[in-house]
Amino acid sequence: MQEGRGLRRVSFEAFQNIGAALDQINSPTDEQAALIKITMEGRRFHSPLSWEQQKLLNLYIAKQKLEEVMYLLGE
Domains in the chain: boundaries: 29-74
SS3 helix, strand, coil % of the chain, rounded to 5? 70, 0, 30
Task: Using alpha carbons, select from 18, 10, 16, 59 the residue that is nearest to residue 39.
Answer: 59
34 pLDDT band, cuts 50/70/90, is very high
* Other CB atoms within 10 A of residue 14 CB: 11
* Length of the chain counted residue by residue: 75
Binned at pLDDT 50, 70 and 90, residue 57 comes out as very high
**Is residue 24's pLDDT more than 90?**
yes
Mean predicted confidence (pLDDT) in 53-61: 96
> According to the model, what pLDDT value does residue 36 have?
96
Which phi and psi angles does 5 have, rounded to 5°?
-110, 160
Inter-CA distances, 49 with 6, 44, 73, Å: 44, 9, 36
pTM higher than 0.75 for the full model? yes
Q: What is the mean pLDDT of residues 6-28?
A: 94
